[in-house]
Structure 1
């Protein structure tokens, strides 16, 4: 097959949601329906031997939440699907933001009882900024939930785009009878059961079929009225508007019962975009180009604790990857020949012989590859838009056993490079390392991972800082003068980008007034280059 044909087969998407909306459950059921796994794990049964297929980290199994993004590849209907499951918890939103730079579409999961929640709104804003096409799955219809028309209105208000229902629920909770497939004019009858497959569902043809009305009574009469209303009021589905991020197809179902899942999988294959061009600082890179290029959007340490490896997750942007091919790391100019490149199905790895634009491959390495690194066959490229946000919480960290200081530094360096937390090294000699985070749970996860993965008991202590800004200046002398005058407040992150640490907004304002030649940034791009939001 040609590169163009292989690219046409790819679908790469992320699943996003607020915590507990059922995202990880839906991920598993998509894998189940695609035939990638034979039995779904249970995120509820935390003490059982089965856990969510996409949750591999020990702390995830203990807490029953996702705190790291997972990458899974599967084939369905002659398409290669790259599915990225993201952390729902807001404390890990940075990881999710970076994942969203590596996908061509997003599947948004909404809890029908809670509607659009705060974390979902933040993620939607990222998708909207990138015009990422969004498919919406409204979950948990087997429970007593909110009215579907109300949910639809809320989605449109927060997304700023038209919500076009592809299916509609008949009843909810105990009276949940199933969903009516508007596109295909039939009703799929609901029957509880996790291991059920779609081909076991009962189908009743026709909205005007008297068998539906007599069997589901008032619930169907209400649904019928609502379907007529939305067909009259809602715009028709427009594929181009969907690809431009202006419309979202909406599905209703119950992921825990495998209900409504296959329709989502089918629409991903039929409507989600194939890999498109990606912007580099130097030029626009087309996916069908013959030469390989890719960008590291995620680094994960210790996926295999026995080997203490770090896996760089690379989104292929163009061309064809072949195992053992010579690649250049644009940031350093180093050449690598990766032979043990892997694809993933959660913890299960398979050696990759070839990959194409849209695929996500994992390159095990020992610190050679960092977040944002671009790999090419020789060309110098820099892809844009991989964000690091200024932390809002800080803690100093020390090791309980002084003999383990080396392990502490190794552990924090690796965890900092993967983006699990931001690590700052004070310029002032003798200062304790500082950890910067978006949310408190990040500190807990890092402490847990230092203990279980590096054998280090770390002591977290309060810090006087609660704000950081990366600093640059077009005048190197002015920058050096500022850093010398404020040495007690200067620290370097994992890529040696200088940051100014303060304890209040007022302190930052004073520095801005006294040093107008200095730029203070709330966001940093990879490899030390600063961009974007000021102050």
Structure 2
């Protein structure tokens, strides 16, 4: 087997997604703990301990205790190279998460055992289904009073529209939580709450052996045997092929905060999760083991280091091997570029890398050359697809609150929009700038970052709009007539495309009826 192929088979690149507060960032930390990447896990919410979570490093995240940007982290474990993307769970930042899902080969969904499946998780699951991404589920917080595990499994099947197969099973829950039986590896893991250490596990091939009583008592032993029998009877055997097609989801139970059940998840994950997979470009399908380097930019992050005003473009490597100081072709700008300091990440700590392989995610310093969705190759003209912007649902005018700082404001808006934080529309009628977002919180984040990173003050002014849609048509006269009639509601986006800002659902549906030759799009990919 070639060196390249060996490296690629070692790679596992996945995202962790969930509803806010289900324990996603805590799980990420515990995985890093196993990889020896961090030595002590930070309590995310506690103010007593000054260590904050490794993957939340933006100032605003530390203040609020939530993740607002996807972090990328890599570590080695059992001779595998694991790349985790921790995504924001808060729905106002869903757009960032949708884009991240284009850069991963599989997904772990975290579900809170008390709350079950929540709205946001459903939406993200739809994106996984669209892309046929394999999914594993971790049911968290078993050490708190939660719902019956069988009920949870039914809910997962119903809400996420996917078959499930438990690979570990909890022994009681809440105050009397005793541990889990690992069905996948046939061993018993007994629970001692400890945030830093890992619990010992006992090999237990034969669950009918009377030794079981010695570990967990008569009542629980009887219940566990009954449950396992029921599981074997009701749920299909785990077929790895069906998992890889995204049709069945293995389920693990545990408590991320107490580092319990996490190792089982990780061990099974590196065994069955896919290594990097082929990716569709517009021209052809690109296979990871091809020798020539290709990759695309799925995220741009400004000011990762507050002392240097720099942007970093995150590149997902789709094929071949990336080497430092080599010339690569930037397809959109049609020019060669060389990168002297590509970096790999451990949350905010980054180190320069000399080479990286398909499946890896690297950061390239960006001085304004990149946009989300750009393709880099060793020379071939390729365009990767599938990085949509969705139609925003909230709109405000952005105005300069300090006339002396107009330049800084302009630069800040440009960089934050390139980063994909929100979308900018310029009204063609009065030239005013409108910011469109998916949620209210993004306006606060933009205002905060403009002030703290660019020294610019903005103020928001209300505007009542229902939806922004991109329009196109082959019928030139009809398009011109529409633009003339709706002049007050016409805008252009950052790429200069026509956008119609409908102020109500009624107006939009009338426009769609009256102008049958015009296509109204609700995502920017058409």
Please, what TM-score do these two structures have when normalized by structure 2?
A: 0.97
The answer as to 2:283 corresponding to 1:297 is no
Q: Contact conserved, 1:343 with 1:361, CA < 8 A, in 2?
A: yes
1:50-97 Cα shifts (integer Å, max 9, x gaps): 111111111110010011101111111111111100010111111111
Matches within 5 A, 1:63-462: 63-198=64-199, 200-201=200-201, 206-214=206-214, 215-431=216-432, 433-462=433-462
1:38 corresponds to: 39
Give 1:278 shift: 0.7
Give 1:478 shift: 4.1
Q: Contact conserved, 2:187 with 2:201, CA < 8 A, in 1?
A: no
Please give the alpha-carbon distance, in whole angstroms, between the structure 2 residues aligned to 1:289 and 1:52: 37
Matches within 5 A, 1:471-510: 471-476=471-476, 478-510=478-510
1:452-508 Cα shifts (integer Å, max 9, x gaps): 111122211211223100111224454344334323212222222221112101111
Please give the alpha-carbon distance, in whole angstroms, between the structure 1 residues aligned to 2:512 and 2:326: 49
Please give the alpha-carbon distance, in whole angstroms, between the structure 2 residues aligned to 1:414 and 1:47: 35
1:528 corresponds to: none
Q: Contact conserved, 1:46 with 1:64, CA < 8 A, in 2?
A: no
Please give the alpha-carbon distance, in whole angstroms, between the structure 2 residues aligned to 1:183 and 1:275: 24
Q: Contact conserved, 1:427 with 1:490, CA < 8 A, in 2?
A: yes
Please give the alpha-carbon distance, in whole angstroms, between the structure 2 residues aligned to 1:465 and 1:399: 21
Give 1:203 shift: 5.9
Q: Contact conserved, 2:15 with 2:104, CA < 8 A, in 1?
A: yes
Q: Contact conserved, 1:188 with 1:204, CA < 8 A, in 2?
A: no
Q: Contact conserved, 1:319 with 1:356, CA < 8 A, in 2?
A: yes
Q: Name whichever of 32-41 and 18-27 sits farther off.
A: 32-41
Please give the alpha-carbon distance, in whole angstroms, between the structure 1 residues aligned to 2:377 and 2:476: 32
Please give the alpha-carbon distance, in whole angstroms, between the structure 2 residues aligned to 1:230 and 1:278: 36
1:243-265 Cα shifts (integer Å, max 9, x gaps): 01111111110000110111111
Give 1:312 shift: 0.8
1:55 corresponds to: 56
Give 1:110 shift: 0.6
Give 1:428 shift: 2.5
SS in 2 for 1:14: strand
Please give the alpha-carbon distance, in whole angstroms, between the structure 1 residues aligned to 2:92 and 2:296: 24
Count the aligned residue pairs: 524
1:25 corresponds to: 26
SS in 2 for 1:361: strand
Please give the alpha-carbon distance, in whole angstroms, between the structure 1 residues aligned to 2:407 and 2:47: 34
SS in 2 for 1:209: coil
Q: Contact conserved, 1:177 with 1:216, CA < 8 A, in 2?
A: no
Q: Contact conserved, 1:191 with 1:201, CA < 8 A, in 2?
A: no
Structure 1, unpaired ranges of 5+: 526-530
Please give the alpha-carbon distance, in whole angstroms, between the structure 2 residues aligned to 1:499 and 1:221: 64
The answer as to 2:3 corresponding to 1:12 is no
Q: Contact conserved, 2:186 with 2:203, CA < 8 A, in 1?
A: no
Please give the alpha-carbon distance, in whole angstroms, between the structure 2 residues aligned to 1:487 and 1:428: 6
Give 1:340 shift: 1.2
SS in 1 for 2:397: strand
Give 1:217 shift: 3.4
SS in 1 for 2:43: coil
